[in-house]
Structure 1
Amino acid sequence: MASLLQGRLPINQDLLLMQKGMLMRKVRSKSWKKLRYYRLQDDGMTVWHARQAGGRAKPSFSISDVETVRGGHESELLRNLAEEFPLEQGFTIVFHGRRSNLDLVANSVEEAQVWMQGLQLLVDFVTNMDQQERLDQWLSDWFQRGDKNQDGRMSFGEVQRLLHLMNVEMDQEHAFQLFQTADTSQSGTLEGEEFVEFYKSLTKRAEVQELFENFSSDGQKLTLLEFVDFLQEEQKEGERASDLALELIDRHEPSDSGKLRHVLSLDGFLSYLCSKDGDIFNPTCLPIYQDMTQPLNHYFINSSHNTYLVGDQLCGQSSVEGYIRALKRGCRCVEVDIWDGPNGEPVVYHGHTLTSRIPFKDVVAAIAQYAFQTSDYPVILSLENHCSWEQQEMIAHHLTEILGEQLLSTTLDGQLPTQLPSPEELRRKILVKGKKLRTLEEDLEEEEEEPEESELEGEQEAELELEAQFESEPQELSPRSKDKKKKVKAILCPALSALVVYLKAVSFYSFAHSREHYRFYEISSFSEAKAKSLIKESGNEFVQHNTWQLSRVYPGGLRTDSSNYNPQEFWNAGCQMVAMNMQTAGLEMDLCDGLFRQNAGCGYVLKPDFLRDAQSSFHPERPISPSKAQTLLIQVISGQQLPKVDDSKEGSIVDPLVRVEIFGVRPDTARQETSYVENNGFNPYWGQTLCFRVLVPELALLRFVVKDYDWKSRNDFVGQYTLPWNCMQQGYRHIHLLSKDGISLHPASIFVHICIREGIEGVES
């Protein structure tokens, strides 16, 4: 079966050496370092490990799990062990999602190079695979798992076991018939290509064939005109359908003669439906498609809370990996809690807890390296400064020296602005958010004059209030209660103050106070509880406040497990920076990923016009139904190759159901689900229609979740996909499922038909 892919795999000396296997040290900490024998399997796509050469091997990882490979110099852990092992002998395998990195140390620099180069070659190969190659790879993986005695062929007994692994409950007689038909060599076993034919017969899509025949006059092919009809009537492609039909035939029709005659076979039709062209996510929303020239406060900004943590907030690990992961997934606002550290060097950690500490300069170096790998748009450093004067000077020094030209240290043109600059104007710039001694006006007036000694002394008298309690964010206090509250008072160093330009942190008292006393470049932070109560009491005022000033919302201090709130209710009020604990997977992060999936995942999404209008009458709690209210009809048709919930339960097969959830303003938030299909995760059929009414589609997100029905306990999560309403395509669409960590579960999908109608008549609330 490996031959399916091996013909396309690059032949390379490094890969041949990896297939022989090598002894390396697996490193988890300063005290945990163990020898392991790693070997690339003959399929070229999986790496196994054993305690020694010839020992009992276990799967370690698949190449498709790997995001990238880093040298030892880039590993936080290996740098700490530099006295024991030369950094050139170490390397780090970084996985997709939240899986921990794998740090390895080879016996020589040459052996480390073999693995680094070989793995990167394979990762690039997998990344560039087309749809067919990915399917071949998936089949190859299953063949390896089913071929128990590893002889390259499968008996009917092995096939039966494999069907269980693949989530298929099938009549034994029917399975044996398909097996015999596929066994063209009549050897009583299935080899590579025979197994592929067997798989094809298993995955015949009756619902797709029926759809194809509805539009095909002869049941054999779709002519160009028939395909154009399908694209116009069902897929709502409108005037572009004719040009699109030619493009799609050229892209998906497997036969050259079909391409020449401009016809689409059933195989070509299925290929189209399963591809990105047939995806529910509208391809026009994939690149940067929004206006990026509006002021920063007109955008939702992908924001992280306690970015340094990769675990919980009491004793979890702090790591620069938190910053690297957040920035690589498109996050544009990261949080840095800074405290006095040893030897005059500030450290980053969650104050007054047992979380580990990392040098501030390491954090800044990681940000400098990774800030613009995913997006060119500006990165905001939200500083929580708890440091003494001397160490604040060191903070300013590191920011200036390490970030260099990337750091924005004065207004863009040296002039006093009248509004915040746009993401476009701030491309590849890093902005500091924090306390500031003076106004921007005072800074600009005196920028060219050297402050005299007496002036500096005067500045030193300005007091910066720092919270010394468990919650590191500024509290929203009334002026009176503020006077009563005991605080640790420290002096803000002018060098650090000067680096805060457009994002001066100020305490929030009331919307009236902000309007009267604050400027557009000042920003307030709100705990989730405070933001919720403001939305309830003064929702419209909050919306108007967010049209001229930035707001940051952060999770409450009681979320010591790094759980998340639902970000949607804060987006509904126009809050731009709704900070999430990105290390924690779940519904809330699915919504965050879903919103920022559009616009090239650049981390900035333009708010709807009614959240950008200074005179907006919009109230998130009591939205008046605009004329754009819509009705959504979703027919959930079928599922394909759904994964098992628990791989260890070989006998159990999922009983899948599909839940469709809408998140938006309160009246729009709803969920409905299909019934469950018993014992079939391979090709379940539902054919059920769900109906929703949506008053404010501009704010709505859709989440499709597949669950494994269990009458004894909570239904288990199988997979999900979340997207903004305005990025949804109508017609017959596949939804390609993602894991809890947001990683593709290819080829798992659900097949749906989407229909959007204007108005909400006849729909029950």
Structure 2
Amino acid sequence: WAAICIQDDLDVKVMMAGSTLRKVKSRSWKKQRHFRLLEDGMTIWYKSRWAGKGHSTFSVTEVEAVREGHQSEVLLSIAEEFSADLCFTLVFHGRQGNLDLVAESPEEAQAWIQGVRKLIHRAQTMDEKERLDQWVWDWFQKADKNKDGKMNFKEVRKLLKMMNVEMNEEHTALPFSFQMADKSQSGSLEIEQFVHFYKILTQRDEVWKVFQDYSGDGEKLMLEELENFLRVEQQEGEQSAQHAQELIDSYEPSESAKKEGAMSLDGFQMYLCSQQGSIFKPEHRDLYQDMSQPLSHYFISSSHNTYLLENQLRGQSSLEAYIQALKRGCRCVEVDCWDGSDGEPVVYHGHTLTSKIVFKDVISTIKEYAFKASDFPVILSLENHCSVEQQTIMAEHLSQILGDMLLTTLLDGQVPQQLPSPQELKGKILLKAKKIGGFEDCLDETMTDEVSDEEDIANGDAESPTVENPPAEICSSNDFAFYLPLLQISKSKLSRQLSDLVVYCKSVHFHGFDHARLHAKCYEMSSFSESKAKRLAKEAGTEFVQYNTRQLCRIYPSGLRTDSSNYNPQDMWNVGCQIVALNFQTAGLEMDLNDGLFRQNHCCGYVLKHDFMRDGNTQFTPEKPEERKDYRPLRLSIQVISGQQLPKVNQKEGSIVDPLVRVEIYGVPQDQAKEETSHINNNGFNPVWNETLNFIIHTPELALVRFVVEDYDKASRNDFIGQFTLPFTCIQAGYRHIHLLSKDGTAIPPASIFVNVSITELT
């Protein structure tokens, strides 16, 4: 048990004994809370001394990292009051806010910092068996109300209901399984016996049947039999022989079976539930693509209004939002800059009630986190509304803070004929902004360039242009973004120093595809609103694809999306748009698709477009995929077999989910499709569907497949349980588990769906 293995650690002992820590939300909100680690070694419990029975808990598995000292905006704001050696921040996965804490002594702070780090490491290095054991242990702890380490039959039934299993008295397997596990016949189960009972209850007939099909004696799979399974069912071909031996070495728990070169049912189930047995090709999780092609040949994970944690009218601007986006592999972040009252430029959503953060702090944060998730280049998309004076200050901050990270000169000193590659730009930050002239021109050093934002609105290159004295009633209205184009527009001038920092990403007005083909330079890029991009994709798909082979383009959400909702990025990827900017702070289908596309290639934020989208003379159009010369549609057949340990949606006692599975295809218009299974009443624990869903995929290279599990409700909308999205090209055929993710994109082990996938050519 994780708890038992690590309980002797001195730091963990301090955590188990408990500590009074200050929970800090702002400079004025600092309250004492009693924190302690529970006996399971995974759950942190805390409560106010005065709040009666009310308490909160979270699992160590939810914590991504521990930051020491004043490493959050909140703790920085109280730095004068509490020294750095007392302060630490727990950073959670997904979109959950940080927990900022202050200890009473440096020693206590260190015990919690090191203790939580050890527990995170322990949780991350558990194998599948340990993880499942831990999960069962957690449930046992929750249900053992009197803490005597035992559970009688009535308590076990109650626990199973908590675990999402509907077991009535007539359920014959339940008393029988209980008696089998109660070896001492005491009428109650201790933890080890409960684990045995749980395993009896969760023996999976559907896995046993597959095992039986290939096992000669029904007891084990000999090496040859396992090879046969891998070749026939998992479609592994030539590599199946070597792979069979590797799987036995990795997953077989029985030493005697290993010596025999065989795999037991336990080992077989552990392999199927592992990452290697998942639907995602393991080799595509690594950096497997060619990273030496021009930037325009890649899809680039991109964020819109990156500084916002919430909506774009009243939401909070925060450095944390940049940290979260960069940690998720985002490679293009947006910085909206406005004149600050004290001469320091600020970042916020102009003419709204969003809070402001200081530009130089944003750049310092980007410097620190730019290359933690990926070594490949980060593009700073600058939305510049500052005076020339404050633009010059911005240029100074960019140069001084970023230093050598900021790319300020051409790589080889030559005027580029094509963009450099992600490989050549490793560790570099590129500025996307307006620029005076081009590399081809020899310009007078004193020249400034007047750029009218009016032109940019027509083009969609400025989401919130500089406006002089907008009417108050418009400023306070939700429709402000809608009225922007109608307001008086000012002329903005560019600072020479800022202009000189722009190298490969010069913002320009889009004059049409014909003009671009004849006159555009590879380092020039335009921005398009979602509606304009969608219209161009429909009207001139082939030209848009050709344009995107040579130049970068950026797509951004409509100004009317005041709730920071997102558009479907698939429409833009279909025509090769690289920088498809989404509100990373908003969970949902669109971010699932973004996460799905960029889950491959080591989550590095760059995905190589397929060859027919990199050829400047391509005739491909998403509207007519069958006209492509190497058109090869495929049939995707998914047998949805069963589900495992699906989480409860409604935590009310007695509520059990009625799950269904829906498979959704996103791709070219002809590939958009959805099919779903029927729902299973009252079983989130081990529902069995055995239903097959079929699809024809016309452009497999662009398709994404999303698996969604919902709790069926005949009276209202189904509740979301979990999802997993991946590129069609990353799917492994055969018997596979799909490990579900929460709405936030974080893992919810051990919840999964068991499927059999078949991909065949259309005959």
Range class of TM-score, shorter chain? over 0.9
The DSSP-based 3-state class of the residue aligned with 1:624 is: helix
Aligned to 2:313: 314
The DSSP-based 3-state class of the residue aligned with 2:623 is: coil
Aligned to 1:635: 639
* Percent of residue pairs identical: 58
Change beyond 3 A, Cα 1:472–1:416 = closer
- Quote how far apart the aligned CAs of 1:460 are: 2.8
**Residue 28 of structure 2 is aligned with which of 31, 44, 65?**
31
- Quote how far apart the aligned CAs of 1:32 are: 2.0
Structure 2: which amino acid aligns with 1:181? M
The DSSP-based 3-state class of the residue aligned with 2:426 is: coil
- Quote how far apart the aligned CAs of 1:570 are: 0.4
- Quote how far apart the aligned CAs of 1:13 are: 1.8
Question: In the alignment, does 2:713 pair up with 1:710?
Answer: yes
Aligned to 1:646: 650
- Quote how far apart the aligned CAs of 1:511 are: 1.1
Distance in structure 2 (CA, Å) of the matches to 1:339 and 1:476: 11
Aligned to 2:39: 42
Distance in structure 2 (CA, Å) of the matches to 1:365 and 1:163: 50
Change beyond 3 A, Cα 1:456–1:631 = same
Distance in structure 1 (CA, Å) of the matches to 2:699 and 2:288: 21
Distance in structure 2 (CA, Å) of the matches to 1:93 and 1:166: 28
Change beyond 3 A, Cα 1:312–1:380 = same
- Quote how far apart the aligned CAs of 1:55 are: 6.0
Change beyond 3 A, Cα 1:464–1:364 = farther
Aligned to 1:671: 674
Question: In the alignment, does 2:560 pair up with 1:572?
Answer: no
Which segment is superposed worse, 170-179 or 747-756?
170-179
- Quote how far apart the aligned CAs of 1:474 are: 2.3
The DSSP-based 3-state class of the residue aligned with 2:16 is: helix
Where does 1:29-108 land on structure 2 (aligned, <5 Å)?
A: 29-52=26-49, 56=53, 58-108=55-105
Q: Is the 8 A contact 1:37 1:53 kept in 2?
A: no
The DSSP-based 3-state class of the residue aligned with 2:753 is: strand
- Residues 343-384 of structure 1 deviation map (CA, whole Å, 9 limit, x = unaligned): 211111100000011111111111111111110000000000
Q: Is the 8 A contact 2:646 2:684 kept in 1?
A: yes
Aligned to 2:684: 681
**Residue 18 of structure 1 is aligned with which of 15, 18, 25?**
15
Aligned to 1:449: none
Change beyond 3 A, Cα 1:179–1:392 = same
Distance in structure 2 (CA, Å) of the matches to 1:37 and 1:476: 46
- Quote how far apart the aligned CAs of 1:10 are: 5.8
Q: Is the 8 A contact 1:632 1:757 kept in 2?
A: yes
**Residue 500 of structure 2 is aligned with which of 498, 501, 517?**
498
Which segment is superposed worse, 419-428 or 389-398?
389-398
- Residues 521-554 of structure 1 deviation map (CA, whole Å, 9 limit, x = unaligned): 0000000011011111111111111111111100
Where does 1:465-480 land on structure 2 (aligned, <5 Å)?
A: 465=453, 473-474=461-462
- Quote how far apart the aligned CAs of 1:627 are: 3.4
Change beyond 3 A, Cα 1:484–1:43 = closer
- Residues 10-69 of structure 1 deviation map (CA, whole Å, 9 limit, x = unaligned): 632221111111112111122322111111112221111121299636232110110001
The DSSP-based 3-state class of the residue aligned with 1:501 is: coil
The DSSP-based 3-state class of the residue aligned with 2:691 is: strand
Structure 1 length-normalised TM: 0.94
Aligned to 2:359: 360
- Quote how far apart the aligned CAs of 1:472 are: 9.0
- Quote how far apart the aligned CAs of 1:461 are: 5.3
Aligned to 1:756: 759
- Quote how far apart the aligned CAs of 1:181 are: 1.6
**Residue 519 of structure 2 is aligned with which of 517, 529, 533?**
517
**Residue 552 of structure 2 is aligned with which of 547, 550, 553?**
550
Change beyond 3 A, Cα 1:56–1:456 = same
Aligned residues: 741
Distance in structure 2 (CA, Å) of the matches to 1:379 and 1:72: 27
Aligned to 2:327: 328
Where does 1:381-400 land on structure 2 (aligned, <5 Å)?
A: 381-400=380-399
Aligned to 2:339: 340
Aligned to 1:269: 268
The DSSP-based 3-state class of the residue aligned with 1:258 is: helix
Question: In the alignment, does 2:533 pair up with 1:531?
Answer: yes
Aligned to 1:723: 726
- Quote how far apart the aligned CAs of 1:468 are: 11
Q: Is the 8 A contact 2:296 2:551 kept in 1?
A: yes
Change beyond 3 A, Cα 1:321–1:469 = farther
Q: Is the 8 A contact 1:296 1:422 kept in 2?
A: yes
Which segment is superposed worse, 254-263 or 104-113?
104-113
Distance in structure 2 (CA, Å) of the matches to 1:544 and 1:607: 12
The DSSP-based 3-state class of the residue aligned with 1:290 is: coil
Q: Is the 8 A contact 2:280 2:726 kept in 1?
A: yes
The DSSP-based 3-state class of the residue aligned with 1:441 is: coil
- Residues 619-642 of structure 1 deviation map (CA, whole Å, 9 limit, x = unaligned): 122222653200011100011111
Structure 2 length-normalised TM: 0.94
Aligned to 1:115: 112
Distance in structure 2 (CA, Å) of the matches to 1:462 and 1:275: 59
Aligned to 2:587: 585
Aligned to 2:293: 294
Change beyond 3 A, Cα 1:145–1:180 = same
Where does 1:596-635 land on structure 2 (aligned, <5 Å)?
A: 596-624=598-626, 626-635=630-639
- Quote how far apart the aligned CAs of 1:109 are: 2.4
Change beyond 3 A, Cα 1:262–1:484 = closer
**Residue 738 of structure 2 is aligned with which of 735, 739, 742?**
735
Aligned to 1:452: none
Change beyond 3 A, Cα 1:394–1:434 = same
Which segment is superposed worse, 8-17 or 407-416?
8-17
Q: Is the 8 A contact 1:706 1:717 kept in 2?
A: yes
- Quote how far apart the aligned CAs of 1:254 are: 1.0
Which segment is superposed worse, 619-628 or 29-38?
619-628
Aligned to 2:747: 744
Where does 1:690-701 land on structure 2 (aligned, <5 Å)?
A: 690-701=693-704
**Residue 460 of structure 1 is aligned with which of 448, 453, 459?**
448
- Residues 644-703 of structure 1 deviation map (CA, whole Å, 9 limit, x = unaligned): 0122x1211011110000100011110000111111100000001111001100000000
The DSSP-based 3-state class of the residue aligned with 2:342 is: helix
Change beyond 3 A, Cα 1:436–1:536 = same
Q: Is the 8 A contact 1:280 1:730 kept in 2?
A: yes
Q: Structure 2: which 5+ runs fail to align?
A: 466-483
Structure 2: which amino acid aligns with 1:742? G
Aligned to 2:564: 562
Change beyond 3 A, Cα 1:690–1:309 = same
- Residues 716-759 of structure 1 deviation map (CA, whole Å, 9 limit, x = unaligned): 11110000000000010011111111111111111000001101
Q: Is the 8 A contact 1:467 1:488 kept in 2?
A: no
Distance in structure 2 (CA, Å) of the matches to 1:388 and 1:29: 32
- Residues 591-626 of structure 1 deviation map (CA, whole Å, 9 limit, x = unaligned): 000000000000000011111111111112222265
Distance in structure 1 (CA, Å) of the matches to 2:463 and 2:72: 36
Q: Is the 8 A contact 1:46 1:59 kept in 2?
A: no
Distance in structure 2 (CA, Å) of the matches to 1:471 and 1:138: 54
Q: Is the 8 A contact 2:671 2:699 kept in 1?
A: yes
Distance in structure 2 (CA, Å) of the matches to 1:284 and 1:483: 49
Which segment is superposed worse, 162-171 or 231-240?
162-171
Question: In the alignment, does 2:161 pair up with 1:164?
Answer: yes
The DSSP-based 3-state class of the residue aligned with 1:638 is: strand
Change beyond 3 A, Cα 1:415–1:143 = same
Q: Is the 8 A contact 2:3 2:42 kept in 1?
A: no
Distance in structure 2 (CA, Å) of the matches to 1:505 and 1:10: 57
- Quote how far apart the aligned CAs of 1:106 are: 1.6
Change beyond 3 A, Cα 1:121–1:5 = closer
Q: Is the 8 A contact 2:409 2:503 kept in 1?
A: yes
Structure 1: which amino acid aligns with 2:96? R
Structure 2: which amino acid aligns with 1:627? Y
Distance in structure 1 (CA, Å) of the matches to 2:308 and 2:600: 26
- Quote how far apart the aligned CAs of 1:329 are: 0.6
Change beyond 3 A, Cα 1:730–1:25 = same
